């Protein structure tokens, strides 16, 4: 939708194409670290203006128990010793930080990954397809006796039901913050268009 709104915009999937651009808008996943770092480095070398476009992150409400950390390694360190069953809502790359943990059993949501290859010692897979609801997420956590949720600050409505489900169950949430960026940011298509117009 963003490309349709901007005149002469071109969607690129390969980073080497960036140096030919007049400006670059990085619209990769808000929690993506490596892609943004690579795009930022390419644009810096080529002297191309860069904007980070991402939907707003989540904000806690009354009743939430959030422990905000910087990365997956810090998320694992934030797990209390008495939390033995954890809902791990992370991608394959982030789950590696929880490998070889003999203290906990993890509930992992994936339809294709094999957490054994990531080094998880004890886990249960849940592969139900979305969309999800807060009630269904709360029931899932109850059925698996979950004591804490680990996830990223993805923002948006699609991934929010697990946050609501944890709230309904009174569970703590270890929330991995978005990586910092050293360029202008935009949370709406209008802001992105205004940034382009200002160049």
- The answer to whether 35 and 158 have CB atoms below 8 angstroms apart is no
- The answer to whether 182 and 40 have CB atoms below 8 angstroms apart is yes
Per-residue pLDDT reduced to its tens digit, 26-83: 988 899 888 888 889 988 988 999 999 999 999 999 989 999 999 999 999 999 999 9
Please state, in angstroms and rounded to a whole number, the distance separating the CA atoms of residues 108 and 115.
8
* Torsion angle of C-alpha atoms 165, 156, 13, 3, degrees rounded to 10: 160
Per-residue pLDDT reduced to its tens digit, 99-111: 999 899 999 998 8
What are the residue ranges spanned by the domains of the chain? 2-54+180-198, 66-176
Catalogue the E-assigned strands of the chain. Answer: 24-26, 50-53, 66-69, 85-89, 105-109, 123-126, 148-152, 173-176, 185-186
What's the distance, CA 68 to chain centroid? 13
How high is the pLDDT of residue 193?
87
pLDDT-derived band at 21, boundaries 50, 70, 90: confident
Please state, in angstroms and rounded to a whole number, the distance separating the CA atoms of residues 20 and 56.
29
Residues with Cβ within 8 Å of 84's Cβ and at least 6 positions away in sequence, in order, are: 103, 104, 105, 147
Q: In whole angstroms, how far apart are CA 18 and each of 40, 186, 188?
A: 10, 19, 22
Catalogue the E-assigned strands of 54-183. Answer: 66-69, 85-89, 105-109, 123-126, 148-152, 173-176
pTM above the 0.75 mark?
yes
CATH fold of the domain at 66-176: Rossmann fold (3.40.50)
């Amino acid at each position: 939708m963003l490309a349709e709104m901007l005149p002469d915009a071109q969607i690129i999937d390969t980073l080497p194409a960036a140096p030919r651009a007049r400006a670059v808008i990085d619209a990769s996943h808000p929690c993506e670290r490596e892609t943004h770092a690579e795009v930022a480095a390419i644009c810096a070398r080529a002297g191309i203006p860069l904007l980070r476009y991402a939907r707003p992150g989540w904000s806690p409400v009354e009743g939430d128990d959030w422990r905000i950390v910087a990365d997956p390694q810090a998320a694992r360190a934030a797990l209390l010793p008495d939390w033995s069953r954890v809902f791990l809502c992370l991608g394959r790359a982030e789950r590696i930080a929880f490998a070889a943990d003999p203290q906990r059993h993890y509930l992992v949501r994936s339809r294709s990954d094999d957490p054994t290859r990531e080094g998880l010692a004890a886990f249960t897979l849940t592969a139900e397809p979305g969309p999800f609801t807060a009630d269904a997420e709360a029931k899932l956590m109850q059925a698996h006796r979950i004591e804490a949720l680990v996830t990223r600050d993805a923002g948006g409505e699609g991934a929010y039901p697990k946050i609501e489900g944890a709230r309904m169950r009174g569970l703590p949430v270890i929330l991995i913050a978005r990586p910092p960026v050293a360029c202008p940011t935009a949370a709406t298509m209008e802001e992105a268009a205004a940034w382009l117009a200002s160049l």
